Structure 1
Amino acid sequence: MTGYTYAEAEYLGDKELLARIRRAEAKSGKKTGQRYTRDENGKLVTHRVSVSFYPKTKFSIEDQAPDGGEFSNLRELEESEYEKTFGLTL
């Protein structure tokens, strides 16, 4: 299991899960959902940041295929890696 993002919990309509995710985000300073980095050519690379709660609260990150396909390479999210990502603002 990769965990959940806030948007996924919202889609599921799970208010308890929404609250748990928001508390975990506030405590850690990390946001779930799509995050981005730039590759060596300056092209955007999409990542998915999620949080799981069992057996302990843990944030994970995975990378989207360059063609916009599936996400893969699931791993525990390190602070240094999160700091290299950014979200898009409207």
Structure 2
Amino acid sequence: MALFQTAFDAYVTRLEKNGLLFVDSELVSQLTDIGAETTVYKIPATRIALDLGNKVAANMVMLGIFSGEDQYLYKRRASRSCER
């Protein structure tokens, strides 16, 4: 998860193959050094937080989206394992 370009640049090398990457679409514009197998979610988190009246809440916006996606993926994986 990266809310700023500097954070993305500092940690992109730690991204695992087939990983999920959540970025603030308005603040992280240069997505370099990520493989095609990486799933990227571009969310205007800061804009959403500003619309809600609190710029500082951008991290909570991202956390909420990540949490929702993680639950979806967990349920999907569990469902697939039951099919086997």
**Structure whose residues are more often strand by fraction:** 1
Structure with bigger gyration radius: 2
| Superposition TM-score, scaled by structure 1 size | 0.29
- Give the structure with the higher percent helix: 2
- With normalisation by structure 2, the TM-score equals 0.30
